[in-house]
Structure 1
């Protein structure tokens, strides 16, 4: 399967969440979080705070999907019927059967509700079960303890820290990036069942 064969109409859902392809019109669906919760992007390399930044954020994501390097989703919380945030596959490498999962953010009302675990379960099942990936990688700012704890709780293994890895949004400061991953055999042997038990 080449990158061009990555399904372009992916919708993933269970009883709690629905993930569908991000669209330009989703600016309206995410604007409330964008305007009222700027702390959401404290550790993000691409900020989406405020309407102008959100428009830019979505346009960049859609361009990357056109270029077949990323696949961004909007996340809906089915219980409230509200849009919760966004997440995506990126650095999609079909020949190597590897992908990164990230650019994940949710409004404060949706954090700590179990929504993230449901999203990750659906995304990982799709990556390993449907796409046949061998490795799903996660990265974060090494100072972002909330994100790191969330990744560990779904079964990611820490591989190490890349020091002075990239500039932050405040370009005079560089960040250390922690790298975590789940391998295909880990998913099917233990991680899938463990994560499913937490849903």
Structure 2
């Protein structure tokens, strides 16, 4: 049964990864990425680069969480016992039983290690099986090939391109590619695909 997601304390985990609610105190865990890996947000709409950038990044999403439209997580890699990045549900629409999943980033050391697939399995499983959603949408800059390939690899279907639909923080505009997974696709094929890929 769908309800107000942000009223709950959601912790998702398996043998590889722990996703827990992002807190203001997590600034210290994520700051090293903001200071040392600024190129992680080359295609991001909101960059957490630098001390002020990370403070604003966290405070903004926590305000949106309080408003009931976002739910951010911090990602902890159990293999290395290190914090690896962040991800979130956003544009949460309980009436339509839909959400977007994004603002996902991992430090370079955690990319292409299988961490993302484990995160996506937990997040999609929660969205469809616990929260009862009908659709989870993902978007990316249409030029961001690594991100697009990662979304395809976890079973997302490409729906199309939204032309010049968003302003980029660094200036200019971007085309956004839209991908999604529907509930019936999750139960019929995507869940099995992801489970096979993480074992």
Query: What does 1:100-115 align with in structure 2 at a 5 Å threshold?
Result: 100-115=100-115
Instruction: Tell me, yes or no, if the aligned pair for 1:90 and 1:100 is still in contact at 8 Å.
Output: yes
> What displacement does 1:92 show?
0.6
Query: What does 1:1-199 align with in structure 2 at a 5 Å threshold?
Result: 3-4=3-4, 6-171=6-171, 173-199=172-198
RMSD over equivalenced CA pairs, Å: 1.0
- The 2-side partners of 1:138 and 1:197 are apart by 22
- The 2-side partners of 1:6 and 1:186 are apart by 26
- The 1-side partners of 2:88 and 2:195 are apart by 21
The TM-score with structure 2 as length reference comes to: 0.97
Paired residues, number: 198
Instruction: Tell me, yes or no, if the aligned pair for 1:34 and 1:49 is still in contact at 8 Å.
Output: yes
The structure-2 alpha-carbon separation of the partners of 1:5 and 1:137, relative to structure 1 and needing over 3 Å to count, comes to closer
- The 2-side partners of 1:131 and 1:2 are apart by 5
Instruction: Tell me, yes or no, if the aligned pair for 1:159 and 1:180 is still in contact at 8 Å.
Output: yes
- The 1-side partners of 2:132 and 2:15 are apart by 24
Instruction: Tell me, yes or no, if the aligned pair for 2:3 and 2:94 is still in contact at 8 Å.
Output: yes
> What displacement does 1:8 show?
2.1
Instruction: Tell me, yes or no, if the aligned pair for 1:3 and 1:68 is still in contact at 8 Å.
Output: no
> What displacement does 1:7 show?
4.7
- The 2-side partners of 1:8 and 1:49 are apart by 29
- The 1-side partners of 2:5 and 2:35 are apart by 36
- The 1-side partners of 2:95 and 2:76 are apart by 31
Give SS of 1:121's match: helix
> What displacement does 1:85 show?
0.3
Give SS of 1:47's match: coil
